Amino acid sequence: MKSNQAVIGVGSEGSKASRAKNGSNGNRVLFAEFERLLQAIRDGQLDVRADVSKVTGTNRQMLEGINEMIDTILGSFNVTAEYIDRISKGDIPEKITDEYRGDFNEIKNNINGLIDSMNNLITAAANMEQAAANGELDKRVDVSGFTGAWATIVQGLNQTAEGMVTPMRDVGGVLDRMAAGDLKARVGNDYKGDYEVLKVACNELGEQLQGVQEVLEQLKTDAVNGKLDVRGDASRFKGDIAGMIHGLN
């Protein structure tokens, strides 16, 4: 009996040593896979996964869990990258409808908010364009529907429209007064570029029309006073208006 007990004791110790050795080897493989995976992530190789076939038991479960965690994170990351890439190219996608949790859901909400802002801006610009085509020059975008940089862009859009409309209104108002017989009406505000050219042309038209009125009044007065040899000064005028004065003479 003593001999048998001795044999059993030796076998038990050998088994423990073997298990310890296997466990040590398994841990080394586990840590090696950890390091390989971390290095791949540092290098941007996001498709690399731990090789679970190299380990067993708890170590295998750990590596499988890590792989699953990376897949979950990259799933959200890839969706985010795809949407940002499309938006940067002017391809506004539909909003994300998949369900996420925690920080992933916050990222989803942020992207959807960006999509809403872009779509609202596009709609606002289209509405402004249509309003301008319809001659509805008072139309502006409601800035209260935007925040931050988006609000700044919309304000700039409104200011651009205002910058275009103001000289048009000035010129239109003066032309309206001229049509009503007020030939002394002039555009008084200063503008830049083509708007200034338009202003000068409008005012010059007023000068020409007022000049014609003055010539006619003078000819009328001279005729009443018997000065039938007096003629209008056509050199004050241009083009057809000068021709008209020549015709009167």
Q: Residue 27: its pLDDT value, please?
A: 81
Answer whether residue 15 shows pLDDT above 60.
Answer: no
229 — pLDDT class (breaks 50, 70, 90):
low
Contact 83, 107 (CB under 8 A): no
7 has pLDDT over 50: no
- Whether 151 maps to a domain, the answer reads yes
Reported pTM: 0.66
Residue 103 domain-assigned (yes or no): no
Does residue 80 contact residue 107 with C-beta atoms inside 8 Å?
Answer: yes
Domain assignment present for 98: no
What confidence score (pLDDT) does residue 6 get? Answer: 42
The reply to whether 52 falls in a domain is no
Average confidence (pLDDT) over 224-239: 64
Quick check: is 221 in a domain?
yes
pLDDT digits (tens, 9 = 90+) for 168-177: 999 999 999 9
For residue 229, what are the contacts with CB-CB under 8 A and spacing of at least 6?
Answer: none
pLDDT more than 90, % of the chain: 55
User: In one letter, which amino acid is 248?
Assistant: L
Is the residue at 163 inside a domain? Answer: yes
Neighbours of 47 (CB within 10 A): 7
Q: Chain centroid to CA 31: how far?
A: 47
DSSP letter string over 184-243?
T----S---HHHHHHHHHHHHHHHHHHHHHHHHHHHHHHHHTT-TT----GGG--HHHHH
Query: What is the rounded distance in angstroms from the CA atom of residue 144 to the CA atom of residue 40?
Result: 47
Q: What confidence score (pLDDT) does residue 215 get?
A: 73
Report if residue 10 sits inside a domain: no
By residue range, what is the domain housing residue 241?
146-249
235 lies in a domain? yes
Note whether 233 and 242 are within 8 A (CB): no
Count of structural domains within the chain: 1
Distance CA 188, CA 166 (A): 12
Two structure tokens written together for 157 = 């859009």
131 or 17: which leads in pLDDT: 131
Q: What is the pLDDT of residues 61-103, one digit of tens each?
A: 999 999 999 998 888 889 999 999 999 999 999 999 988 889 9
